[in-house]
Amino acid sequence: MASALVAACLCLPAPGPVLRAQVMDESIVAQHVRLRIPVDRSWLGRESIFDLERCWDFIRRATKGSLPSRVLVLINMNDATSSFDIGRSSISIGMNHPAAAGDLKGYLLHNAARELARMALLILSEDGVSRKENRFLYEGMVEMLAREFSNTTKRLSTAWAICYYLDRIASLDLKELANRPEVLDGRDLRAAAPGITFLTFCGERYGRDRILKLFETLAQRNLQDGLTAAFRQPAASLQAEWLKQVRSYAPGDVTVAGDEGAPVLDKVSFAPEQAKAGAPLGMRVFARDANRDLFPSGIFVVDEAAGRVLQGFPPKPADGSLVLFTIPIESGRAAGRYRVRIIAVDEGGNLRAWEAHYTVGAAS
């Protein structure tokens, strides 16, 4: 069933030399799930196997039985990425990730739910979600199913804040989402946010069954026709109503994991210290959180003088606590003190906003 594109992009990579050198435990099994895990981590497998079985059951029921009857879960302690392989009925969970450090079992279950959901939705849509135009729906539904399994859907509320800022950077037109790098290149809350909010809007208005009907419809139709067929409303009308809701959102601080797990701003610096009209201003933001799941993709800067929302980028080599921004200063900008707002959204759904100020010098 899986297309060549899916095989190329989503299949489980062949085990490398490090993985073969490990002694693996394959004795931990349940009715529909079996584990392959390093022997020295067998305790994690024993603690997780029945939750993984429950996860398989939840995802299978939520996607109309779209999972193999038996799934191999490969635990890789040396890799940071996760993947799935329909042909082998397997998923691989990379545990060598900063966000796994504080809660190995929680990280394992969440990412297992995501990979099982990826596999199930691909089967349900007969590869339809592998097309670029449908990627935002795919990412959104995967995250929704994973959060529903763990009863943490409250953490999805900040997807509206992310979309509010993404739309100010460039309109969240459904036809253009296929080419937006944050959707195509990411497997994080930012990549999932447009799909989460759009599907939430459609689910609240038309019901969950229609969302599943949409994914089934994508097997034979393009996105525009699939939306019209599933919701019996033109895609343009759905987009207009969804964007109206996004643009009316009023972002504010959100805490879902306690203040100790929310993002913290350490320092902001500007280079040069005094900006010049007509020249770009560099901005360095040092931010972090205790759960180690605040990434550069989750930080936005709003230059209030220009009403512009800016995207940051990590330095090279990457430093997880540092994000770089470039603020364009117009040639006609008057001398004075200006404010920027910094918004940080971590993968746990916590949102924090701070402010900083820069100065523009008088023209010489």
List, for residues 150-167, the tens digit of each pLDDT value. 998 888 989 999 999 999
pLDDT category of residue 265 using cuts at 50, 70 and 90: very high
Q: What is the DSSP letter of 273?
A: S
Q: Which tokens sit at 5?
A: 């594109």
Question: What pLDDT does 242 receive?
Answer: 97
Neighbours of 189 (CB within 10 A): 24
Phi, psi of 332 (to 5 degrees): -95, 10
d(CA 252, CA 234): 32
Question: What pLDDT does 18 receive?
Answer: 43
In single-letter form, the type of residue at position 65 comes to: G
d(CA 51, CA 57): 10
Question: What pLDDT does 232 receive?
Answer: 94
Q: What is the 3-state secondary structure (H, E, C) of 98-158?
A: HHHCCCHHHHHHHHHHHHHHHHHHHHHCCCHHHCHHHHHHHHHHHHHHHHHHCCCHHHHHH
138: left (phi over 0), alpha (psi -120 to 50) or beta: alpha
> Half-sphere exposure (CA, 13 Å, Cβ side) for 29?
7
Question: What pLDDT does 10 receive?
Answer: 41
Give strand pairing partners of 173: none
Flag whether the pTM goes above 0.75.
Answer: yes
pLDDT category of residue 248 using cuts at 50, 70 and 90: very high
Q: Kind and range of the H or E element at 286?
A: strand 281-288
Q: Say which residue, 15 or 161, is predicted with more confidence.
A: 161
Long-range pairs, 327-331, Cβ under 8 A, ≥24:
327/275, 327/280, 327/281, 327/282, 327/283, 327/301, 327/303, 327/358, 328/280, 328/281, 329/275, 329/276, 329/277, 329/278, 329/279, 329/280, 329/281, 329/360, 330/277, 330/278, 330/306, 331/277, 331/278
* Lowest mean pLDDT, pick from 77-81, 124-128, 145-149, 316-320: 316-320
Rounded mean pLDDT of 199-215? 95
pLDDT category of residue 7 using cuts at 50, 70 and 90: very low
Task: Quote the Cα angle for 345-343-178, to 5°.
Answer: 65
Q: Which of 175, 177, 176 is nearest to 192 (CA)?
A: 177
Question: What pLDDT does 257 receive?
Answer: 55
Q: Which of 66, 55, 61, 64 is nearest to 89 (CA)?
A: 66
Helices 208-217 + 104-124 axis angle, to 10: 60
Contact 72, 90 (CB under 8 A): yes
Question: What pLDDT does 347 receive?
Answer: 87
d(CA 289, CA 265): 9
Q: Which tokens sit at 214?
A: 């949409």
Contact 323, 296 (CB under 8 A): yes
Rounded mean pLDDT of 128-151? 95
pLDDT category of residue 203 using cuts at 50, 70 and 90: very high
Question: What pLDDT does 3 receive?
Answer: 45
Q: What is the DSSP letter of 11?
A: S
| Full set of structural domains in the chain with CATH | 1-124 (3.30.2010.30), 125-251 (no CATH), 259-360 (2.60.40.770)
Contact 41, 77 (CB under 8 A): yes
